[in-house]
Structure 1
Amino acid sequence: MANQKRARLIYNPTSGQEIMKKNVAKVLDILEGYGFETSAFRTTPTPHSARDEASRAAQAGFDLIIAAGGDGTINEVVSGIAPLAKRPKMAIIPTGTTNDFARALKIPRGNPVEAAKLIGKNQTLKMDIGLADQDKYFINIAAAGSLTELTYSVPSQLKTMFGYLAYLAKGVELLPRVRNAHVKITHDNGVFDGQASMIFAAITNSVGGFETIAPDAKLDDGKFTLIIVKTANLFEIVHLISLVLQGGKHVDHPWIEYIKTNEMRIEPQTDKRMMINLDGEYGGDAPITLKNLKNHITFYANTDEISDDAMMLETEDLALEAIAQKFTHEVEDFEGLENRDE
């Protein structure tokens, strides 16, 4: 068929306990059934394997590129497509640990077959993409500050086994080491010039599996949700975390700057190094300029509610909820202890 659409599946064979490797044939059959002439590429340990293949496939005229893996694989595929003038549509099959991007697009996690079937609904969304210093892209969040160290210090084996639970445990361990740094952040609405312990520029509302850190983030409005934490006091940070877990009540707190902006520049005002984290990986050092590329790539998304039986990682959600509840109780005890000390 001369006008048949072509799709390229780029999958990480080791992601999610190799679940994708076991389902490649089924996914290809589903895509073929939707009218795509489909082929697959298995990523390799070679640096930028997924990115380079995505770029090649896009320039070869493929109509659809499917990224199957964790947020890292999705980031790479986006990075291969985003610089091009003509960009194919994208779909994702989330098989990683945190899957923030899949949460935002309401795509079934841990179930490649259900995720592939979503393409058949033919529902798409023009998604914003983040650009850092003209050459690096991110799909979910850019971050800086003390706690961003945790993504570098969690062993990869723990990430694979426990996902964000491993990050959370490491984050609690690092809380006493949080420090302020003098930083200047220029944004659409003005300039922040002061002390900050953490800086987040979020595209989606899901950060590390929690959807209340940037609760009103929009996927397609061309705006980052810029969050600046202005305290390094342990008691105050613990209190802020408890407000996050209570449904995003931190956004109006005086220790927080909560700003919508299309572009920003982060400039340290000291000689101390400030590393930038892009989608959980090291993305260079500040000073750095971040720009939101509005509606840059069209993604297949589930704009309807997903039925419970399509959510194969429901136990992960329950675990995160249980940890949040436990942490909230511990915060109450912690704050009670602080009040007694006074």
Structure 2
Amino acid sequence: METVYLFVNPFSGKKNEKDLTQHIKESFLQHGFLEQNITIVTPESASDAFEKAKEASRKGIDLVIPLGGDGTINKIIGGVHEGGHHTKIGLIPSGTVNNFAKSLSIPLDPDLAIDTILNGQDKKVDLCKVNEHYMISSLTLGLLADIAANVTTEEKRKFGPLAFLKDSYRILKRNRSYYLTLVDDNGQFAIKTKFLLVTMTNSIAGFPSFSPSATVNDGLLQVYTMKKVSFMKFLLHINDFRKGDFSMAEEIKHFSTKKLSITPSRIKTLILPRTRIDGDKSDMVPVSLTVLNEAVTVRVPHS
């Protein structure tokens, strides 16, 4: 690896972002990288980050490092993939949840993460195309998306995964169901569900092993639905959810598939469920998901 693009999020609000950026650059210089081959990129927006990452890939840049959480990493990896070259991804987790990094066992400590980039190994990982977007970790709609909708970046930074419990009671009390038609590898079927969750990794909302059977390059989506839920049952099962154990939650149904389409099957109101991809607001249904197997290469620790 010779050329490096380091993407910095100017809107992160973190006081140590500039210090971390300089520390990363100095670490690479100490390991023999030339200063003229290290470029610090400051995108003006999420879409600009995507375009600049795509441009970096098209130029044949060896390594791209996004500083941030899943939403930032999503844009950078999507852009690199669309660039069409074999640019590698290095991760230095600096978000509040960091699902993607955790699923790859990337250390959360910056120095250890830098060491992983410099001395680790390459691993090919899956992406998912969702309409015109990309997904690296998860898609939610319904209950889980509604709970996350009003959680601010500051709350996530302060409380971590517990921030997502803030609106749980209000959302559960509303007791809204969604009627959807799903098409997977085996055909079409209709469901009534409180939420739909699609994961590509074994971490969600910052909790490891939420989907223990999922790996980052198995070519599969893990899909979860829940037909009914009560606040007490939600609290009863929350520790199981955190451990990735759904055996005690009979209401949750699970299946795996390489592709999935989601459309509304009953529209009583003008309200359509809106999806969230990798923690950020995205399209309303209908949506179509397709796994891109081993689409990008990420630097990971030696196993």
Query: Would you call these one fold, judging by a TM-score over 0.5?
Result: yes
CA contact (8 A) 1:201 1:227 kept: yes
Following the alignment from structure 1 to structure 2, what is the Cα–Cα distance between the partners of residues 261 and 129? 14
3-state SS, counterpart of residue 127 of structure 1: strand
Q: TM-score, normalised by structure 2?
A: 0.90
Q: Tell me, yes or no, if structure 1 residue 289 matches structure 2 residue 285.
A: no
Asked whether the equivalents of residues 142 and 195 of structure 2 are also in contact (C-alpha less than 8 Å), the reply is yes
Q: Which amino acid aligns with 2:39?
A: A
Q: Matches of residues 315-330 of structure 1 in structure 2 within 5 Å? A: none
Mapping of residues 53-64 of structure 1, within 5 Å = 53-64=52-63
Cα contact 2:220–2:291 (8 A) shared by 1:
yes
Deviations 1:69-96 (A, max 9, x none): 1212111101211223223111111111
Percent identity between the two aligned chains? 27
Q: Secondary structure at the match of 1:163?
A: helix
CA distance in 1, matches of 2:215, 2:13: 28
Whether contact under 8 Å (1:251, 1:258) holds in the other structure is no
The one-letter amino acid of 1:220's match is: N
The aligned residue for residue 167 of structure 1 is 164
Q: Which moved more, 1:153-162 or 1:65-74?
A: 153-162
Distance 1:53 1:85, change over 3 A: closer
Q: What is residue 211 of structure 1 aligned with on the other side?
A: 208
The letter for the 2-side match of 1:101 is F
C-alpha distance in structure 1 between counterparts of 2:175 and 2:210, whole Å = 18
Structure 1 distance, partners of 2:228, 2:86, is 42
Deviation, 1:260, is: 1.2
Q: Give 1:265's aligned residue.
A: 261
- Shift in alpha-carbon separation, 1:183–1:90, aligned structure 2, 3 A: same
Count of paired positions: 298
Q: Structure 1 counterpart of 2:254, which letter?
A: Y
2:225 to 225, 228, 242: 228
Aligned-partner SS, 2:83? coil
Query: Using the alignment, how far apart are the partners of 2:248 and 2:165 within structure 1?
Result: 24
Gaps of 5+ in 1: 305-342
Question: SS where residue 166 of structure 2 aligns?
Answer: helix
In structure 2, C-alpha distance between the alignment counterparts of 1:84 and 1:171, rounded to whole Å: 40
* Paired residues of 2:70 and 2:98 also in contact (CA < 8 A): yes
Pairing 1:120–2:84 present: no
- Normalised by the size of structure 1, how large is the TM-score? 0.80
Tell me the secondary structure at the aligned position of residue 204 of structure 1.
coil
Deviation at 1:146, TM superposition (A): 2.6
Structure 1 CA distance for aligned equivalents of residues 30 and 112 of structure 2 = 14
Larger radius of gyration: 1
The DSSP-based 3-state class of the residue aligned with 1:21 is helix
Matched, 1:65 2:61: no
Residue 280 of structure 1: how far off its partner (Å): 0.8
The change in CA–CA distance for 1:57 and 1:156 in structure 2 (over 3 A counts) is same
Check conservation: 2:237, 2:248, Cα contact below 8 A.
no
How do 1:103-118 and structure 2 match up within 5 A? 103-109=102-108, 111-118=109-116
What secondary structure does 1:148 align onto? helix
1:31 equivalent among 14, 25, 28: 28
What SS class does the counterpart of residue 107 from structure 2 fall into?
Answer: coil
Q: Which SS does the other structure have where 1:17 is aligned?
A: coil
Q: How does 1:184-203 map onto structure 2 within 5 Å? A: 184-203=181-200
2:251 aligned to 251, 255, 267, which one?
255
In 1, are the aligned partners of 2:193 and 2:227 still within 8 Å (CA)?
A: yes
Q: Which moved more, 1:83-92 or 1:12-21?
A: 12-21
Unaligned runs of 5+ in 2: none
- Closer, same or farther in 2 for the Cα pair 1:211/1:192, shift >3 Å? farther
Cα distance, 1:34–1:187 mapped onto 2, change above 3 Å: farther
Q: Distance in 2 between matches of 1:148 and 1:67?
A: 25
Residue identity matched to 1:129: L
Opposite residue 260 of structure 2, the aligned amino acid is M
Residue 323 of structure 1 corresponds to which residue in structure 2? none
Which runs of structure 1 show a deviation greater than 6 angstroms over 4 or more consecutive aligned residues? none
- 1:129 paired residue number: 127
Structure 1 SS opposite 2:114: helix
CA RMSD of the aligned region, Å? 2.2
Partner deviation per Cα, 1:108-160 (whole Å, 9 max, x = no partner): 21x32321111122312101111101x20011001111330232212333233
Whether contact under 8 Å (2:66, 2:91) holds in the other structure is yes
